[in-house]
Amino acid sequence: MKRFDNFKAGFINENPIFGLYLGLCSTLAISTTLNNAVGMGVAVTVVLVMSNIIISCIRKITPDEIRIPVYIVVIAALVKIVQMLVEAYTPELNTALGIFLPLIVVNCIILGRAEAFASKNGVLDSLVDGLGMGLGYTMGLLAMAVVRQIISTGTLSFANPFNTNFVIFETTFFPSEYAVSIFSQPIGAFFTFACLAAALTAFKSSKNKKPWKIGGALVALVLIAFVALRSDFMVDTAASETPVEEENGSQGGSETDLAFNTEITNTTENADGSVTYTVSVDGYAVYNHADGKPNILDVTILDGTVQNVVVTEANDTQYVGDRIADEAFTSQFVGMTKDTLELEPLSGATISSNSAYHAVLAALEAAE
C-alpha cells in the first residue's frame, strides 16, 4: 500500500507542475499543442524512470561528496540517448521541442527525485516513484496543452508522432474566428498555469474548507478570465463569413474553396544560373482576418527543379501556421519539379501548408 501511495502522490498531492512547481520552464514553453505535451511527457518519464533505477543501483557505492555530479552525469547520458532517438524517429517533434529536450538534464524534477528518493530507496520503489512522478508531469502538461490549444485555435488534434501527416483525432469546439490567440503566447501559458494550479489547490483543500468558499473562488477565477479576455472576443461580424481552415489532411492540388492567390513580386538571377522568385501568397491570415497579410516565400529554381525554399514572412497564426517557415517543412520541396510536386501538410495547419505549396507551384510555372 505504501508503494501505491507513493506512486499516486505524483498525480495530485505532489504533482510536479501544480503541486511542487517544478519543471515550469518547459511546461510553459512547449504546452501549445497536444503533440508537444505527449512528446515531452514521455521523454521526461523515460529519463525519470531510468535515472531513478540507475541511481538506486549505485547509491551504496557513490561517495556523498560527489553524488550530485554523478547523478548529473547519469541523467545527461540518458537525456542524450532520448534526444538521439527523438531526432532519428520523430524529427518534427524534435524541432517542436527545440532546446527544451536537451534541457531535461537540468529539469528540477529529475535531479530532485534522484536526491530525495532514488538515493535512499530500493530499485523497485525508485522505479515506481519515477513512473508516478513522470505520469504526473505528463498529466500536468496535457492539461495545459488541452486548454491552450482549444482556446487558441478552437480545435483539439493529435497526430501520430512518427508520422505527423496521420492525424489520429481532431475535434472542433468553436469557429476559429472566436479563438483567443493570446493563449498560444507566453502570457497565455502563465494564465493557464495560474488557473489550473488554483483549481488543484482548491480541490486539495476541499475537505477542510466550506463548499461556498471553493465555489466563490472558482467564480472569481471565471470572472477574472472573462474580463482579461473580453477584448480578444471582439469579433467583426463579417469575420463569420470568411472561410475557416479545415484540417482534413488535404494535400496541394486537391479541391478547396480557397483561391490561394499568388503574385511574383521579384525575380533574382543567381551566379549559378538559378533564379529566385519572391512569391506573395494568400494564407490562413488573409482568409480569416480583415487585416491579414499574405505569406512571402523565396523559391529558387534551376532547370525546372526546386533548389531551395525560404519563408521570409510567415504571417499566419503563431506556433501553428507559421511553422511553414521551419526547414523541416520547406525542405520537402527541394528536388521537385512541376510534375512531381507534392505536399505533406503540417498537422493543424492545412491552409498554411497549401499556401506554401501554391507559392512553389507559382515559381515553377514562372520558370517555365
Structure confidence at residue 127 (pLDDT): 92
Q: What integer pLDDT is reported at residue 90 of this predicted model?
A: 86
Helix (H, G, I), strand (E, B) or coil at 295: strand
What number is the average pLDDT over the span 85-114? 86
For the whole prediction, is pTM greater than 0.85? Answer: no
CA 267 from chain center: how many Å? 36
What is the reported pLDDT for 215?
52
Helices first, then strands: H and E counts in the chain:
12, 6
**154-192 pLDDT tens trace:** 889 888 887 777 778 888 888 877 888 888 888 888 988
Q: How confident is the model at residue 241 (pLDDT cuts 50, 70, 90)?
A: very low
Residues 317, 320, 323, 329: is their CA dihedral positive or negative?
Answer: negative
Q: What is the pLDDT of residues 330-342, one digit of tens each?
A: 999 999 999 999 9
Mean pLDDT for 251-266 is 69
Residues 274-285 have a mean pLDDT of 93
275/252 Cα distance (integer angstroms): 23
Highest mean pLDDT among 251-265, 295-309, 339-353: 295-309
Q: Is the pLDDT of residue 218 over 50?
A: yes
DSSP notation for 86-122 = HHHH-HHHHHHHGGGTGGGGG-HHHHHHHHHTGGGS-
Structural domains of the chain sorted by starting position, each given as residue range(s) with its CATH number in brackets? 2-172 (no CATH), 262-367 (3.90.1010)
Is the pLDDT score of 94 beyond 90? Answer: no
Instruction: State residue 300's pLDDT score.
Output: 95
CA distances from 290 to 183, 241, 279 (A): 21, 11, 21
Residue 281 has pLDDT above 70, yes or no: yes
Least-confidence region, from 53-57, 140-144, 196-200: 196-200
Task: Quickly tell me which residue has 477565477 as its cell.
Answer: 221
Task: Report the run of H or E that residue 248 belongs to, with start and end.
Answer: none
Task: Output the pLDDT for position 255.
Answer: 37
9-18, 80-89, 280-289, range with greatest mean pLDDT: 80-89
**Number of other CB atoms surrounding residue 3 within 10 Å:** 13
Is residue 356 within 8 Å of residue 309, measured between CB atoms? yes
Mean pLDDT (the chain) is: 83
Give 234's pLDDT tier (boundaries 50, 70, 90). very low
Mean pLDDT of 354-359: 94
Tens of pLDDT along 294-339?
Answer: 999 999 999 999 999 999 999 988 778 888 999 889 999 999 999 9
pLDDT at 100: 86
Per-position DSSP letters for 128-149, written without gaps between them:
HHHHHHHHHHHHHHHHHHHHHH
